[in-house]
């Protein structure tokens, strides 16, 4: 490195003194190291140990007339680097001593005036792990960032020392996020790392690099000659620094974005949804007049389709549910995204995640203006109704305040006598009638176990 500086200088002088040997050495080169003076060695007397390098860069070699501002800034930053990574060393720049007494002072220069996403000053967590390792961390809003030194060498591209520290922090933060993450949102290590800005100052035995510029340290951790074991106090402070909240907020936003991608849209023709009997006007300008009938299984669908012969297919569609829908309130993000039934329902109706449906006019953006539940009048049927209501309330609670969700009620019991027919929609209602009707035994009583018990003729009567 010193030789390169000599080659690209019009004048290069080195002086060094040894207190132990009481000697002083001085030599000067010129013309890009093409000329050299005789070395001057003399007794040093009371001189302290020192090495001094003075050079005049050959600006013409760099097609420059003077030292440009960015070059001066780079050299100045390097002076700050040395002050930060060499504790106890007094560093002067243009005759003035730099006010960097410790590595933490240097870190503070980077984050001065910077704020987090809430407009608050960035918090720095710092620890002197041991005599060979110093680590600091703060939040990053532009991907993973690192500032690191190995034996006072600025490793601008990082390396194994940075990976070792970052991986340790990520592992601990993920443990905290795992406890916080009850929605099943998948958070990967690199996603945590992308919110970190780490600062490292370390001493490593015989470090290796991938180039002469020494920007990337390649020595494996087992050969560092020391370990960087972060304390529990440091990790606790990291989890309270805003990092956990920042990652969690981002992960939820990412999850919501994925849900939006899975949303439905208003279109007149849908393909690839088995067993859907789509209304002719679904997704058209008359979509708000359409009702989607959700049936409990295929037998109930048959009943509903029979009823369409009465009301027509322009404004009514039918879709059979396979058993009980997913309880979205307890399901993970991954389960919701991968649930075929939920995804089909969203596409059929045209619902969009995170969209607010506050008025009847808002319903006009849907493929269907109403959803009608057609389930058995038993416990399973009630459970299915509850899960559908739960699905809508969890994602679009305002829809339940509008005339959007309806229920198709069918009789549980019918009592007939000649031309007289009485329908009962609950067993208590039927029992009350029996108690009040002395000749109830003269009626023909038919119990309807489920929707499939009704005939095609009865289906048309219901509609």
Rounded alpha-carbon distances, angstroms, from residue 137 to 20, 105, 178: 42, 13, 21
Residue 129: its H or E element: strand 125-130
Cross-strand partners of 107:
none
Residue 452 DSSP symbol: G
Rounded to 10 degrees, what is the CA torsion of 417, 423, 424, 430?
A: -10
Query: For residues 40 and 26, what is the distance between their CA atoms, to the nearest angstrom?
Result: 5
Q: Which residues contact 437 (CB under 8 A, 6 or more apart)?
A: 443
Query: For residues 36 and 54, what is the distance between their CA atoms, to the nearest angstrom?
Result: 14
Domains of the chain with CATH codes: 2-97 (3.30.565.10), 103-253 (3.30.230.10), 262-407 (3.40.50.670), 413-447 (no CATH)
Q: How does pLDDT run along the chain (463 residues), one tens digit per residue?
A: 789 999 999 999 999 999 888 999 999 999 999 999 999 999 887 768 899 999 999 999 999 999 999 999 999 999 999 999 998 899 999 999 999 999 999 999 999 988 887 778 899 999 999 999 999 999 998 899 999 999 999 999 999 999 999 999 999 999 888 887 655 677 889 989 999 999 999 999 999 999 989 999 999 999 999 999 999 999 999 998 988 888 887 877 777 666 666 656 667 678 888 899 999 999 899 999 999 999 888 877 877 787 777 888 899 999 998 878 888 887 777 788 888 898 899 999 999 888 889 999 999 999 999 999 988 777 778 888 999 999 999 999 999 999 999 988 878 888 999 889 898 888 889 999 999 998 888 999 988 776 656 666 666 666 6
Query: In a 10 Å sphere around its CB, with 0-12 CB exposed, 13-18 middle and 19+ buried, how is residue 365 labelled?
Result: middle
Furthest C-alpha separation in the chain: 134
């Amino acid at each position: 490195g010193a030789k390169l500086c000599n080659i690209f200088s019009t004048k290069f002088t080195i002086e060094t003194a040894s207190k132990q040997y009481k000697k002083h050495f001085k030599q000067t080169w010129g013309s890009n190291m093409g000329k050299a003076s005789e070395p001057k060695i003399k007794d040093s007397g009371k001189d302290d140990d020192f090495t001094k390098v003075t050079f005049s860069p050959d600006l013409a070699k760099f097609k420059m007339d003077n030292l440009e501002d960015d070059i001066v800034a780079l050299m100045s930053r390097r002076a700050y680097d040395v002050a930060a990574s060499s504790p106890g060393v007094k560093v002067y720049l243009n005759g003035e001593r730099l006010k960097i007494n410790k590595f933490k002072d240097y870190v503070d220069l980077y984050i001065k005036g910077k704020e987090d996403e809430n407009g608050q000053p960035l918090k720095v967590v710092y620890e002197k792990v041991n005599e060979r390792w110093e680590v600091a961390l703060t939040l990053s809003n532009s991907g993973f960032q690192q500032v690191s030194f190995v034996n006072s060498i600025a490793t601008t591209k990082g390396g194994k020392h940075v990976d070792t520290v970052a991986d340790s922090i990520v592992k601990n933060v993920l443990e905290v996020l795992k406890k916080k993450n009850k929605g099943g949102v998948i958070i990967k290590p690199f996603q945590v790392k992308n919110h970190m800005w780490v600062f490292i100052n370390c001493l490593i035995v015989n470090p290796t690099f991938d180039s002469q510029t020494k920007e990337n340290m390649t020595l494996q951790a087992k050969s560092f000659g020391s370990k960087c074991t972060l304390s529990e106090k440091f990790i606790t402070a990291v989890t309270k620094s805003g990092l956990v909240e920042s990652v969690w907020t981002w992960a939820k936003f990412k999850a919501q974005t994925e849900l939006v991608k899975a949303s439905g849209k208003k279109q007149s023709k849908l393909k690839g949804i088995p067993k859907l009997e789509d209304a002719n006007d679904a997704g058209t300008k008359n979509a708000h007049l359409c009702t989607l009938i959700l049936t409990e299984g295929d037998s109930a669908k048959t009943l509903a389709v029979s009823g369409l012969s009465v009301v027509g297919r322009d404004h009514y569609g039918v879709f059979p549910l396979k058993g009980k829908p997913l309880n979205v309130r307890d399901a993970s993000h991954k389960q919701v995204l991968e649930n075929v039934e939920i995804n089909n329902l969203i596409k059929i109706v045209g619902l969009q995640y995170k969209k607010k449906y506050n008025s009847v006019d808002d319903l006009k953006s849907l493929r269907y203006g109403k959803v009608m539940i057609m389930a058995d009048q038993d416990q399973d049927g009630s459970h299915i109704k509850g899960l559908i209501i739960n699905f809508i309330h969890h994602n679009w609670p305002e829809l339940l305040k509008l005339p959007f969700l309806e229920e198709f009620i069918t009789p549980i019991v019918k009592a007939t006598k000649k031309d007289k027919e009485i329908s009962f929609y609950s067993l208590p209602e039927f029992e009350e009638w029996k108690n009040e009707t002395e000749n109830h035994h003269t009626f023909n009583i038919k119990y309807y176990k489920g929707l499939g018990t009704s005939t095609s003729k009865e289906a048309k009567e219901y509609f």
